[in-house]
Amino acid sequence: MDDDLISLVVSDAGEHMAKAVEHAQSEFSAIRTGRATPALVEHLKVDYYGTETELRQMAGFSVPEARMLVVSPYDKSSLGAIEKAIQGSDLGITPSNDGTVIRLSFPIPTEQRRKELVKVVKQKAEDGRVTVRNMRRNARHELEGMQKDGDLSTDELDRVEKDLDKLTQDHVAAIDRLLAHKEQELLEI
């Protein structure tokens, strides 16, 4: 019984840590490099007949060249609303509407802008690391509570905490790898 409860606490912490890594990765993908990618706009909210709808539910995306993203609305009458949502976003890109599709041309970011984006990415990575460490702390509190209740020996607690630390280190390292990749992507011209 106790081993099941211990492994439940550890696996639950591991799942939450994995979700923190996934969240960090999705945050990174939404940061604009010089390349066009649907991740930059697919989560934009568009006012579609009075309802806030994600762009990915309203349009298809294609990347015909490295710095060009083409948004093809499923409903041509939504072109204006989509264009307005893109202009109102923090992308800083002016959409080009030809009546059928919307083209987004991504300029090469300046060196200063790339450095600012690196700072933003580093902050998002730190937020992810903090989340992972908080998951470890929460799991430790649960395990220490089990020890106080007599369900867990001190030796067993030490062993499980080492496993928890290893799990934490693995997830923090995953965030660090994602950060290094995104940083390299941002700094290349």
Q: In which residue ranges of the chain is CATH 3.30.1360.40 found? A: 38-105
CATH no. for 2-30+110-187: 1.10.132.20
What pLDDT is recorded for position 120?
A: 87
- Right CATH for 38-105 from 3.30.1360.40, 3.40.50.720, 3.40.50.150, 1.10.10.10: 3.30.1360.40
- Please state the rounded mean pLDDT for residues 96-116: 84
CB under 8 Å, gap of 24 or more: what pairs does 8-16 form? 9/139, 9/142, 9/143, 9/146, 10/139, 10/160, 10/163, 10/164, 10/167, 12/139, 13/135, 13/136, 13/138, 13/139, 13/164, 13/167, 14/167, 14/171, 16/135
All CATH 1.10.132.20 domain ranges in the chain, comma separated = 2-30+110-187
Mean pLDDT, range 33-38, rounded to an integer: 73
Summarised one tens digit per residue, pLDDT across range 89-105 is 877 788 888 888 999 88
